[in-house]
Homo-oligomer: A and B are copies of this chain.
Amino acid sequence: MSPRNTDVSEQVQALCPLVQVMGDIADKWTIGILVATAHGPIRFTELERAVNGISRRMLTLNLRKLERDGLLTRKVYPTVPPKVEYTATPMAMELYDSLVGMTSWAEKHRAAIAAARASYDAHRAAAAVAS
């Protein structure tokens, strides 16, 4: 075995596919990409604009990851200039419903969350002064 015991966590990952899968889905960009692709085939540059603030590199990386997981299909049209379309698979469409639930929840409660943060920060600032 490896001298580093870092692989304890690797073993956990191996034993728990759920964590593995969720770790892939529940990442900063994946949700946005999935939501963007769920409305039908979409091109690379369209995605780049659709997913607020993502870089070309991260978009590519995430698209590959999702393609690998079988959530997206990549269709290349050998034209000039090239054209590539990404489409959500049925499996991804199933997930999409839960995703919509999350985003609508976020939209509904974002004001409350902002308020909670402000309150929390104010409280901690006061505590810092008192110290």
In the complex, are the beta carbons of B16 and A52 less than 8 A apart? yes
Number of interface residues of A (CB under 8 A): 48
Number of copies: 2
Q: Which of A101-120 touch B at CB < 8 Å?
A: 101-103, 105-107, 109-110, 112-117, 119-120
Q: Is A95 an interface residue (CB 8 A)?
A: yes
Is chain A's binding surface mostly helix, strand, loop or mixed? helix
Contact status of A117 and B69, CB under 8 A, knowing A26-B28, A106-B25: yes
Q: In the complex, what residues of B have CB within 8 A of residue A12's CB?
A: 52-53
In the complex, are the beta carbons of B114 and A17 less than 8 A apart? yes
In the complex, are the beta carbons of A110 and B21 less than 8 A apart? yes
